Structure 1
Amino acid sequence: MPAENSPQEESWTEVIEPRTSLLDLRLGDVWRYRDLIMLFVRRDFISTYKQTVLGPIWFFIQPILTTITYMVVFGKIANLSTDGLPQLPFYLAGVTIWNYFATTLTATSTVFISNAAIFGKVYFPRLTMPLSIVISNLVRFGIQFGLFLGVWAYYLVTQNTLHPNIYMLLTPVLLVLMGLLSLGLGMIFSALTTKYRDLAMLLAFGVQLLMYATPVIYPLSRLPLKYKAIILANPLSSIVETFRYAFLGTGTFSWLYLAYSAVVTAIILFAGTVIFNRVEKSFTDTV
């Protein structure tokens, strides 16, 4: 005879289990928490400029001031070549796509430290946080990209110096590569900064140095051959050059260089995933 008062099985809405593999991203969980990702995106977007006077206008001011500074310092004083292109669209093209990488990498690298209070109180897939940073900075890029398109359209109509081509269709691919590369590097540094806080400051300095190793303020074609190979070893170089070549018509484009960037991005993203999954299990003990 079955027991009359046997307990009923309880139904749980969330079951938290230890991971069996460092490569287990639990993308299904991330998809189920997509609303949370959008809330984080909204939080990042609003909190940055919530108590500022100019608000989102800073999205336009920052690249404009940076571009003007480059035009004065590198264009007028240093007299660096722009491959015959007008200085404003040349520098603005590099600044626009570089800002997306730099801001995403910097923000992702401190994701454990900046959100330790949230991580310690409630469970959600930890990967949602760096993904929200990638997406929120994509919104920022969209605004600055609109500014670039306005300047680009002006020069396209008034001057005969720009020669856009079909490779503009590669823009989404370039953004994906930039986003994944910054995500992978950011996850690596976020894991390291849980123990070594100094790396956050070192990274901010390193990102500035990395810009000079990327053809943001100079064209790749003007570099001596012995230095060009070193710069091309940087996976960001072909992405920036392709973006500039697509919209301005002058620069260096190669499917081989772009494929190299894609392979390096995949390797870094793989390494970042392994390290991030390993550290997230015990980071609360060290933060």
Structure 2
Amino acid sequence: MAENKDVWDIEIVPATGLFEIDWRELWQYRDLILLFVKRDLTATYKQTILGPIWFFIQPILTTAMYVIIFGNIANISTDGMPKILFYLSGITIWNYFQECLIKTSETFISNQGLFGKVYFPRLAAPISIVISGLLKFLIQFALFLLVWLYFLLRLESAIHPNWTITFLPCYILLMSGFGFSCGIFISSLTTKYRDLRFLIQFGIQLLMYATPVVYPLNIVPEKYQWIMLLNPVTSIIEAFRYSFTGQGVFSINYLIYSALITIFSLLFSIMIFNKVEKNFIDTV
């Protein structure tokens, strides 16, 4: 008689390489990723009175505060742009980067109970955060477009959009990729060094002031601008502003630099993430 052999639908095996990503397995778990996305969106403002309206209120209040403090009191230049549009343009794309970084940096800690009970590709959790953050970004971007169109239709406003607006998907991809890579790298370290959880909130605020979110790059002395541009987020935000308003610094070379830094950080972070996920449950 022929020997009966067990036939399995799914076989779970350990990853063999530090840079290995099983894209086929992630695609098989796409329904789970979508469930995570839904969880992230609904849990954010669950049991609140205004609910999803907070997606609009948050950037509006932040913009108003920046206009009052940095625009009126500190009288910081906005490169000739309307103050509301200037600050909202920076906040809109910065918030997406911040969301990707902070939320993915908590991947192992916030999901340790789930990770210890059932198997699924660990990268599914941070990927879902990037997707849910993208949906929030699109909502806030719609608000930005409304304000942008208002000033664009006013003939006296100095708004001059140009062909580089077609680079918008690249800006979003670079922001999400860099935020994702930094987030999973920090998440990998926090399994052993919990102090990083307290430093990340403080660090992201310092990084914002080292990025031209509330001020244009042009007000920085020229001899120091190259230091600002070492920050890969700087060229993305400046290019985003330039594309929609014609004001700002647009440099293909610095965008390529940002892309190379993003790719390198992704490879390095995935290597660390794959190494940590094998035994993180023993340390968290």
The alignment's TM-score, normalised by the length of structure 2, stands at 0.98
Pick one of 54, 73, 77 that aligns with 2:69. Answer: 73
Gaps of 5+ in 1: none
Partner of 2:11: 15
Aligned-pair distance for 1:133?
0.3
Pick one of 203, 207, 216 that aligns with 2:200. Answer: 203
1:7-27 deviation per Cα after TM superposition (whole angstroms, max 9, x unaligned): 422221211112211111111
Aligned-pair distance for 1:266?
0.6
Partner of 2:57: 61
Letter matched to residue 208 of structure 1 = Q
Pick one of 121, 126, 144 that aligns with 1:125. Answer: 121
Give, in whole Å, the separation in 2 of the partners of 1:227 and 1:210.
16
Matches of residues 38-187 of structure 1 in structure 2 within 5 Å? 38-158=34-154, 159-187=156-184
Letter matched to residue 34 of structure 2 = M
3-state SS, counterpart of residue 53 of structure 1:
coil
Letter matched to residue 125 of structure 2 = M
The alignment's TM-score, normalised by the length of structure 1, stands at 0.97
Partner of 1:32: 28
1:110-132 deviation per Cα after TM superposition (whole angstroms, max 9, x unaligned): 10000001101110010111100
Letter matched to residue 145 of structure 1 = F
Give, in whole Å, the separation in 1 of the partners of 2:133 and 2:277.
23
1:91-118 deviation per Cα after TM superposition (whole angstroms, max 9, x unaligned): 0000000000001100000100000011
3-state SS, counterpart of residue 80 of structure 1:
coil
3-state SS, counterpart of residue 12 of structure 1:
coil
Letter matched to residue 27 of structure 1 = W
Greater radius of gyration (CA): 1
3-state SS, counterpart of residue 107 of structure 1:
helix
Partner of 1:284: 281
Instruction: Determine what percentage of the aligned residue pairs are the same residue.
Output: 55
RMSD of Structure 2 on Structure 1 (CA): 0.9
Letter matched to residue 224 of structure 1 = P
Aligned-pair distance for 1:226?
2.5
Give, in whole Å, the separation in 2 of the partners of 1:209 and 1:132.
26
Letter matched to residue 58 of structure 1 = W
Partner of 2:269: 272
Pick one of 245, 248, 262 that aligns with 2:245. Answer: 248
Pick one of 228, 245, 257 that aligns with 2:225. Answer: 228
Letter matched to residue 71 of structure 1 = V
